[in-house]
Amino acid sequence: MALFRDAVLNFLFPKKKELMAIEALPPYKLAALIPPAGLKGKEGFLALFDYAHPLTKEIVWEIKYRGNRVLADKVGEILFERVSGLLTKNKQLKETGAILLVPVPISDRRRFERGYNQTELLTQAIKKFDTGALLKHLPIGLIKTFHTESQTRTSGRKERLENLRTSMKVMNPQKVAGRIVVVIDDVATTGATFIEAKRALREARAKKIICLALAH
């Protein structure tokens, strides 16, 4: 179904030459073209790329609004390298067994509108490169309990936090209890989405939560 939809979209709206050139780049070359945004601290999350860069915005837009699986796979490989690097550096994490890989959820309404969850495209791509079974993919580990306005329509960290408050829950708490969870999002701005995801995962007694965004 996804392949058919992509074929129809590409026929009706042919890809620009610039986009085709981006899709043809190996992941390491793509990563070299974009300034990093690897921040961590009070925000409590890591991010790969600087969202202010035009190429980052193009990639995010393609994945989020066109379901571009070619680009999702390319950045998925980069995301997997970052995740595996984090786990390799931390011996304690590496020795715990398979780590849970969870996408930030979207509401049923948003999924109906788009036909997919863009962060699931990213986690699916990450899992493709996990040949050593380091990660256990839980595509609906977190679910959205009600529809919320797009974070782009809110102003300021306080309003973003309030917009998302209690909007997520863990689907099967028994699968999360005592486990290390890696949460993936496409764009993180204030960290409000990750804060809500952490709240739900902590209520389900997750042992440790690592939040990683494609862009910030």
Residue 182 bridge partners (DSSP): 101, 210
**pLDDT tens track for 69-102:** 999 999 999 999 999 988 877 665 655 667 999 9
Percent of the chain's residues with pLDDT above 90 = 66
Residue 106 zone, left/alpha/beta (φ > 0; ψ -120 to 50; rest): beta
Q: DSSP states of 130-159 as a string?
A: -TT--EEE-TTSEEESS----GGGS-SHHH
Q: Residue 50 and residue 56: Cα distance in Å, rounded?
A: 7
pLDDT at residue 4, as a whole number: 54
Comparing CA positions, the residue from 152, 147, 181 lying closest to residue 164 is 147
pLDDT at residue 190, as a whole number: 87
Rg of the chain, C-alpha, whole Å = 17
Backbone angles phi, psi at 142, to 5 degrees: -110, 140
The residue among 159 and 138 whose pLDDT is bigger is: 138
Rounded alpha-carbon distances, angstroms, from residue 151 to 43, 87, 119: 16, 30, 15
Instruction: Tell me the mean pLDDT in the region 107-122.
Output: 94
Instruction: Tell me the mean pLDDT in the region 130-148.
Output: 92
**Domain 27-215's class?**
alpha beta
pLDDT at residue 132, as a whole number: 87
Instruction: Tell me the mean pLDDT in the region 164-180.
Output: 92
The answer to whether residue 11 scores a pLDDT higher than 50 is no
pLDDT at residue 136, as a whole number: 95
DSSP 41: S
Q: How confident is the model at residue 12 (pLDDT cuts 50, 70, 90)?
A: very low
The answer to whether residue 2 scores a pLDDT higher than 70 is no
Q: Residue 40 and residue 31: Cα distance in Å, rounded?
A: 19
pLDDT at residue 88, as a whole number: 77
